[in-house]
Amino acid sequence: MPVVYDQLRRLAAKCLRAERPDHTLRATALVNEAYLRLVRADVDWQDRVHFFAVAARLLRRILVDHAKANHRIKRGGGAEKIPLDEALVISPRSGAGVIELDLALERLAEQDARKSEIVELLCFGGLTYNETAAALKISPATVHRELKIARAFLHRELIRGSS
């Protein structure tokens, strides 16, 4: 368990590094919430990659839920729009960015679920290209090719959303 917890803590810290500096959620709180949800999950764990794929989805959900809670009208609303540029691998810089990215990922999933999963595993799960390929039973070259297409789609969606 300490190894898993340490790995989750590194993933959480990585996710939060891309957030705004005054973000109220800390890596420890994020990993604790994810850990509790993982322990309660009724999942037949296949392997390490499967575990971290599910963890990636949970971290994304927790960050999105936190961002939504902090951007409700009663908390000030008015989310800042942040476009995705090519220098970025796809990591939002603010709570508003997480919400916009989540919506764009949902639209991508409607068109191509695998591309959405690739982004989620790489960006929120911290998996490598090879681990992502293993989790999805595709080649690393396919991961690379589909990530390029997914990034272009997300870039277009985020630009469209900020207009």
Domain residues of the chain, as ranges?
Answer: 2-162
Q: What is the mean pLDDT of the chain?
A: 77
Mean pLDDT of 69-94: 47
Spatial contact of 86 and 158, defined as CB atoms under 8 Å apart: no
**Residue 27, H or E segment:** helix 27-40
Instruction: Specify the pLDDT at position 109.
Output: 94
Do the Cβ atoms of 22 and 4 come closer than 8 Å?
no
Classify the phi-psi angles of 61: left when phi > 0, otherwise alpha if psi is within -120 to 50, otherwise beta.
alpha
Is pLDDT of 1 > 70?
A: no
Instruction: Give the pLDDT confidence score for residue 145 in this predicted structure.
Output: 95
pLDDT at position 76 over 60: no
pLDDT for position 3: 72
Please tell me the predicted confidence (pLDDT) of residue 90: 44
Lowest model confidence (mean pLDDT) among 25-39, 68-82, 110-124, 132-146: 68-82
